[in-house]
Structure 1
Amino acid sequence: MLQTLGLYLLTAVAEILGCFLPMLWLHKRGPAWLLLPAAACLALFVWLLSLHPTASGRVYAAYGGVYVATALAWLWLVDGLRPTGWDWAGVGLVLAGATVIILAPRT
């Protein structure tokens, strides 16, 4: 379970960086060369998702919960905006759903 969570966290950071770096360039807060590491991050994101041995739809669904939590941590740590109680409640809900998906018995 911890290995899966770690892989999901790394995947989420790769995806967020792959989207954040082009946003910096588009808003003229960063140079165009940021598009190169952004593309590498998105390629890493896809590769990391492929490492899970279960059905891809289940992987994406469970990953979504971890992504939401990571995105709120990014909001706080990088963007400097503290998440609200409603944000944390939403994270709790999606992580509960992701946990159900990850831990459900398989036939």
Structure 2
Amino acid sequence: MQLINSLFYFIIAGLCEIGGGYLVWLWLREGKSPYLGVIGSILLIVYGFVATKQPTNFGRTYAAYGGIFIILSLIWSWKIDGFVPDKLDLIGGGIILGGILIMMYAPR
């Protein structure tokens, strides 16, 4: 159950960070409503709180989260921006996922 909770919090943190950054991007780079910037900023703050729910120390959590961020960013760019990851993106994502699983969940 701890594994499921941890992965859940990684995904929620990633969606908050990527989604928040995306909304700020839309506001500042594409001239969209300042309300998007406010909502994006709130999501970025929420991301900071969600990340603290991980069962391990700060360094390991943020190192593993970096990998989660990469994978979620590829999915976001594919589903939201229409960028289709190529074979090397998928291979890299798989390697990163393996590293995350070892760092966070391998018995110590």
Q: State the 1:53 CA deviation.
A: 2.9
Q: Is 2:27–2:36's contact at 8 Å kept on the other side of the alignment?
A: yes
Q: Over the residues paired in the alignment, what is the CA RMSD in angstroms?
A: 1.2
- Residue of structure 1 equivalent to 2:55: 53
- Residue of structure 2 equivalent to 1:85: 87
Residue ranges of structure 2 left out of the alignment (5+ in a row) = none
Q: State the 1:59 CA deviation.
A: 0.5
**Number of residue pairs the alignment of both structures matches:** 106
Divergent runs of 4+, >4 A: none
**Aligned mates of 2:20, 2:30 — CA distance in 1:** 16
2:24 to 22, 25, 36: 22
- Residue of structure 2 equivalent to 1:37: 39
**Aligned mates of 2:9, 2:82 — CA distance in 1:** 25
Q: Identity percentage over the alignment? A: 32
**Aligned mates of 1:93, 1:101 — CA distance in 2:** 12
2:103 partner letter = I
Q: TM-score w.r.t. structure 1 length?
A: 0.92
**Aligned mates of 1:43, 1:81 — CA distance in 2:** 27
Partner SS for 1:97: helix
